[in-house]
A and B are shown apart, each in its own frame.
Chain A
């Protein structure tokens, strides 16, 4: 994975002068713009909300990319969390929004632990494909046991109450929207901190040299499992938000196309970049909505083609290109790149 996430952005750890403040400023402007969407472009609110939910899930895939692993089945946790929320609402119609979210996250974390204990024994091909297999298993369970899961039609997830208040549709949508922004900031910040924490640093060593990790007396499996749990929880939060925004959960939440989309967005945004996950998700959703009118039939083909172009010609993704532009503005291009030597 040396190519694909070499350009990963590392929070405040960027060494060149001037860039951290510029980056922080741009991030602040972007967040303020997002928060203003319900006022300046109300028609975009739902779309942006879905993009944010997806972005949080993509962040989960991004975490794994930092360890050099790619999962083709992370929609599994996205879906489990969504279904956990839907089942909770079905059995407890007065449940609160917070409870739905917590139930979803617990579901994602438990399944992440179970699947994780198995898949952390593998790397590379096996890691990616076993994740895919688990998501396909859950997908067929959802489709086959239709008397429980509603089959291909899925189940409705009615609007939960918010802190005990039953809200109308516009009010609830506003709550979910700002909740998504808040979660994006909190989880994004947490993930950045986690990357710089000891366990996060060790986690990223799995990509570069796992054997040395073992010589340090650490268990790579346990380290990978902690990252896997984080990624499952992030996908779970995204799935819960998506389910509450849409009001219905279907097996499509777990379908491999959804997992592929997450991997695509993570690579598009800049593999390994936290901000890239959200920027990628926003760009992806907006382009998808406007392009689907013209290219609905060949959407996956476009995604696949674009994925090839990114991997072969711009392995840093959007954040890699943005970093390159900023660096060019900040100092002469001949200066060696400090990030490459690390």
Chain B
């Protein structure tokens, strides 16, 4: 392995890790606050990608500049969060917070099945490709390796921005503190007048927006296919489980580990590249069952 290939693998890994992290961030935020693992998160990611491709294609056909692709990504992500995430929480999840964990898992899984078909009905089964955002930013050459600015600079910047932004939001703003209080003890929070229902709805919408944003940002770098949602939910679960469920900072580290592991495997042993994230997860969980940054839960007797 020479330096060029090493750098290529490194850049691949970083840009991939950034994407996975954004999706995993939403998953782990929802879990941390609501104690629900949203299996439909993968579908929200895929729909975010589809929506971006359609919207961008529509506006470019009208003759707008390709730079418009960037605000359209945000628009798609917010649409996904508000139009899909909102009703899911409001109509379904709200009824099952006191139900057993496995039942909650089944409900979000049912939503996942429904949304997978919704994608196929709306966008069909043919692959979509829309890379105008990628081309709009051009390339950068670093140590003799040419890479797209979009993947090497923009994606990691967005990921780090979201990580720092979310930490600041949760710790320094009033709404963030309300969320933390509700996470800590829902009943106590309600007794001092916090509307826990609204906090949950808001958290779920934010998580769903992050899933949609992940899909929107991924759309220029890959072709959009049915089944990408199923892959992403398993992958982002692997990241979240490796980090420890609900660990926001840990998810960034786990995403980097998994992203780099996968991209180096692509150059060294391509057949097993898809397996690497799961191997990393299994290895970590064998040693630390609660994840790298998770703490063992005290048992209730």
Contact = CB atoms under 8 A, between A and B. Distances in A.
A133 B105 contact: no
Contacts of B99: 3
Interface in B224-240: 230-231, 234, 237-238
A172 interface: no
A125 to B, nearest CB: 5
B36 to A, nearest CB: 9
B154 to A, nearest CB: 29
B109 interface: yes
Interface in A213-259: 256
B241 interface: yes
B112 to A, nearest CB: 7
A194 interface: no
Interface string A299-339: 11101110110011000000000000000000000000000
A304 B112 contact: yes
B275 A140 contact: yes
A68 B234 CA distance: 22
B101 A124 contact: yes
Contact of B114 (A129, A133, A300): A300
B116 A68 contact: no
B1 interface: no
A312 B107 CA distance: 9
Contacts of A134: 278
Contacts of A299: 117
Nearest to A144: B271
A300 B37 contact: no
A301 B118 contact: yes
Interface residues of B, number: 42
Contacts of A300: 113-114, 116-117
Contacts of B299: 211
A145 interface: yes
A1 B102 contact: yes
Contacts of A303: 110, 113
B198 interface: no
A312 B95 contact: yes
A144 B102 contact: no
Contacts of B92: 308
B274 interface: yes
A129 B42 CA distance: 13
Interface stretch (B56-64, B172-180, B185-193, B281-289): B281-289
Nearest to A211: B301
A137 B113 CA distance: 20
A136 B278 contact: yes
Given A297-B120, A299-B117, A68 B102 contact: yes
Nearest to A305: B114
Interface of B: prevailing SS: helix
B100 interface: yes
Contact of A301 (B96, B101, B114): B114
A260 interface: yes
B142 interface: no
A311 B103 contact: yes
A290 B285 CA distance: 44
Q: A72, A125, A211, A301: which has the most chain B beta carbons within 10 Å?
A: A125
A311 B107 contact: yes
B100 A298 contact: no
Interface in A92-123: 118, 121-122
B100 A129 contact: no
Contacts of B272: 144
A75 interface: no
A70 B110 CA distance: 13
Contacts of A124: 101-102, 105
B298 interface: no
Contacts of B109: 72, 260, 263, 304, 307
B121 interface: yes
B43 to A, nearest CB: 10
Nearest to A122: B289
Contacts of B289: 121-122
A205 interface: no
Interface in B104-140: 105-107, 109-114, 116-118, 120-121
A95 B96 CA distance: 51
Contact of A307 (B110, B120, B278): B110
B254 to A, nearest CB: 14
Interface string B21-60: 0000000000000000100000000000000000000000
Given A124-B102, A129-B37, A311-B110, 4 more contacts: A4-B100, A133-B281, A297-B120, A308-B111
7 contacts: A144-B271, A298-B117, A300-B116, A301-B117, A307-B113, A311-B103, A311-B106
Interface of B: 37, 92, 95-96, 99-103, 105-107, 109-114, 116-118, 120-121, 230-231, 234, 237-238, 241, 245, 271-272, 274-275, 278, 281-282, 285-286, 289, 299, 301
Instruction: Please list the 3 inter-chain residue pairs (A to B) with the smallest Cβ-Cβ separation, ordered nearest first.
Output: A304-B113, A301-B117, A304-B114
